Amino acid sequence: MGNQVIKQNEKGRADRMATRINKYLSEVGYCSRRAADRLIEQSKVKINGQIASLGDQVSDGDKVSVNGQQINPHNDFVYIALNKPIGITSTTDRNIKGNIVDFMNYPRRIFHIGRLDKDSEGLILMTNDGNIVNEILRAENAHEKEYIVDVDHTLTSDFISKMSKGVPILDSYTKPCVVEKVSPTRFKIILTEGMNRQIRRMCEYFGYSVTSLKRVRIMNIKLDLPSGKYRELTKHELSTLMNLLKK
């Protein structure tokens, strides 16, 4: 290892590339951080065979178990494409009626990457891989998201031009984006950012109201599902996605 120094904690584990145990259990999709803290307090979590304490860290190569069951994160990640229907809320809060978790009723704990408004529909990615979320959502990475939008009256060339150059909303200015007219009252828009209700606010600025909004693509993943259905990403989709995230 040359001159590289690796600090050791009180239990002798390496702290290089370390993650707090509660965050680790959340990122691998086992449970929430709060639930992880409870399990740790109940002495149900072990790291390399030793009972974990709150604040302990996990490094590459460490073996983590809960209730005697070893956690194998690299084999347990799932990546799902869902066609979210209108009326479903992008939240993991199960106290909220119509939350996306109860809607899917998936047998494992998963969460959404980004959001779609309750009154919008289309592609949303679900996973239990916490590491991938920020890579996809981070604005400076400029990952594309494509939408088909219907509005309440005829589109003009002036609207298309000004929408593509950026619009003042939420005390900011949207980034330049691709906007193409599809029909008299429908357009396609490709964004590389995700402000709150961004497309609706952009349209409202020019006097238009959105009547329907559907996300049809996130990066290389295209919507190809009936409303309310989901599927796991293909090996090719996942491989391409991971390569795009490394750029």
Do the domains at 77-138+222-246 and 144-218 have one common CATH topology? yes
Single pTM value for the model = 0.72
Give the mean model confidence (pLDDT) for residues 211-222: 98
Please report which confidence band the pLDDT of residue 227 belongs to, taking 50, 70 and 90 as the band edges: very high
Write out the catalytic residue numbers. 117
Q: Which pLDDT does position 193 carry in this prediction? A: 92
The pLDDT tens digits for 72-83 are 765 578 999 999
- Provide CATH code, domain 77-138+222-246: 3.30.70.580
Listed in sequence order, the residues at least 6 apart from 139 whose beta carbon sits closer than 8 Å to its beta carbon are: 192, 193, 194
Domain ranges for the chain, please list them.
19-72, 77-138+222-246, 144-218
**What is the H or E stretch that residue 182 is in?**
strand 178-183
Listed residue (45, 43, 44, 25) closest to 34, CA to CA: 25
Is the separation of the CB atoms in 232 and 175 below 8 Å? no
Cα–Cα dist 172/195, whole Å: 10
Handedness of CA 156, 162, 164, 170 (dihedral sign): negative
The maximal CA–CA distance of the chain, rounded, in angstroms, is 68
Q: Is CATH 3.10.290.10 the classification given to domain 19-72?
A: yes
Q: Give the tokens for residue 230.
A: 């989901």
| Range in 36-45, 58-67, 153-162, 182-191 with the lowest mean pLDDT | 58-67
| CATH domain 144-218 topology | Alpha-Beta Plaits (3.30.70)
pLDDT score for 168 = 97
